[in-house]
Amino acid sequence: MAKNRYAKDYRLTEHFEAGGKIRTTYEYIGEDWRFREEPAVVEKEKKKALLRAAAGWLGFVTAMVPQSGAMHFLLIALPFAFCALPLAAFTDSAFAFRRMKEPLEHRHADRLNNRYPPVCLLWILFSGSAGIGQAVRMASGGEILAGDIVFSLCTVFLFLLGIRSFSAGKKIGAEKTSVT
């Protein structure tokens, strides 16, 4: 049975309501965390994270619309298909990031520090692998369709967007508030 790693950060309180019902509430008692950057920078980054998620999905779908020879090669199609997984996780993280407010709870800081960067690294890895595979396929000769150009541009776009998302996530991050 998996133990909730944040269980010690909360206190369970019960109190009686009118009519004799017992109401249970949870109160956060763990350490407070804050963003590394100023609030204005964080608010801008929250919007940019959602825009990067939307742009990532747009690039992912756009690459698959025109007919391309790239999708006939497993070493290109497989990493590109797997790129949807980190994109979905990044989108989820971007929406969660949008709702985060200071002081952050431990679970929010963990999500921001320990999930955001690895998801971006997987995004970079999968889009880069697909792009390199496509570049090798195109350089080795054979028929190049217009969709191959679109696919190549989209993989480069996804790769660069992943790098930008990674660097932004590392910059924003969360740290414990100092107790004095």
Question: What pLDDT is attached to residue 166?
Answer: 94
The pLDDT mean for the chain works out to: 91
Instruction: Report yes or no: 131 and 155 within 8 Å, Cβ to Cβ.
Output: yes
Question: What pLDDT is attached to residue 1?
Answer: 41
H/E run at residue 136: helix 116-139
How far is Cα 155 from Cα 130, in angstroms, rounded to an integer?
7
Q: For 24-62, give the DSSP string.
A: EEEEE-S--EEESS-HHHHHHHHHHHHHHHHHHHHHHHH
Per-residue pLDDT tens for 138-155?
999 878 889 999 999 999
H/E run at residue 98: helix 84-99
Reported pTM: 0.85
How far is Cα 81 from Cα 67, in angstroms, rounded to an integer?
16
How far is Cα 176 from Cα 162, in angstroms, rounded to an integer?
27
Mean pLDDT confidence for 30-47: 92
Q: Where are the domains positioned within the chain?
A: 33-176
Per-residue pLDDT tens for 90-116?
999 999 999 999 999 888 898 888 888
The CATH number of 33-176 is 1.20.120
Percentage of residues in the chain having pLDDT higher than 70: 97
How far is Cα 59 from Cα 157, in angstroms, rounded to an integer?
7
